[in-house]
Structure 1
């Protein structure tokens, strides 16, 4: 009797093999492949979740011994007689899918042959969150100092800029006009100062203050 109990709980003569543990990311798909002895090629293959007593009370999905893919909800199973293996696929993995499972072969006579696999589910990594934490300095290698889009001016900034231009532009024009007027006035004064000297005869000194001439003949 003791020998029968041990054989029932541990029938593992490695007639069915597979991974001891698999990990899937939340929201992704999980595929588990289990191999079997060639003599079980036409037997039904199954996938079940173990209870708290480590027993498979209900099969989640199973084949009919053929290579036809069987699908139920998010789980599918397909047998490959050539490779002597079958694959169980679980789509849209959730945290609730984590636990102990068995992939096994049903026998017509005697107990089933099975292999235990632990399924673990990891949290999904959000690329959006990671990208939002990156600064513009690290996202654009061609612009190490940051050269994003030009800043958008607010309405108040635009009004202030227009008022500033309306004041500074007339002032600048007034300054330029005043400088031009002063320059033209200086040129006029210089021309007036140079005018009497141009009327003197070339080679003749200025007329002396005395009444006698100094070598220049009198004017005709």
Structure 2
């Protein structure tokens, strides 16, 4: 009976631990800011931003140290606003090479309190697109801006396959039986 509970979780708004944009755009030479929203339970955890595949030895990563303090790494900065459960990442002096996939995440593995275990960090992927010319000086995303887009993706990637799986199970259980005990069908 775990299936109805799983379906209920998929229908509850805000059941995702971390939310933000799926795509942001900026202009060469300008700046770009991304605001990521998280749940209250992650208030004391470190937040980070990195270029995919997020391997610290090969790609730069910027992460928070304490609340409300901006941390810089090269042209990137991050600040955790625990009062409104968001953190903001800013990329300055954008170049065409900054286009790519990034990760907005929360470092949860092996925390001191309760040892979260080996579950992966909550994160979402952000596609950064940098154009050569635009009338905009900077680009900023705030929570709620693409919530319809995220809801649609949740529907496609989670709810539809789960519904099809449940439908298949119901059809399998209710399939007509061809053989009757001890009797065979006429040829």
Would the TM-score normalized by the shorter structure come out above 0.5? Answer: yes
Unmatched segments (≥5 aa) in structure 1 = 1-12, 127-220
For 1:23, the equivalent position in structure 2 comes to 25
CA RMSD of aligned residues (A): 1.6
In the alignment, does 2:63 pair up with 1:62?
yes
TM-score between the two structures when normalised by the length of structure 2: 0.56
Q: Secondary structure of the residue that 1:96 maps to in structure 2? A: helix
Whichever structure has more helix as a proportion of its residues is 1
In the alignment, does 2:50 pair up with 1:41?
no
Q: Secondary structure of the residue that 1:117 maps to in structure 2? A: strand
Shift of 1:65: 4.0
For 2:173, the equivalent position in structure 1 comes to none
Shift of 1:73: 1.4
Larger Rg computed on CA atoms: 1
* Residues matched between the structures, number: 110
Asked whether the equivalents of residues 18 and 33 of structure 1 are also in contact (C-alpha less than 8 Å), the reply is: yes
Shift of 1:57: 1.2
Whichever structure has more strand as a proportion of its residues is 2
For 1:129, the equivalent position in structure 2 comes to none
Asked whether the equivalents of residues 45 and 65 of structure 1 are also in contact (C-alpha less than 8 Å), the reply is: no
CA–CA distance in structure 2, aligned partners of residues 39 and 105 of structure 1: 11
**Structure 1 stretches of at least 4 aligned residues deviating more than 6 Å after TM superposition:** none
What are the within-5 Å matches in structure 2 for residues 96-175 of structure 1?
Answer: 96-107=97-108, 108=111, 109-110=116-117, 111-125=120-134
Unmatched segments (≥5 aa) in structure 2 = 1-14, 136-187
For 1:88, the equivalent position in structure 2 comes to 89
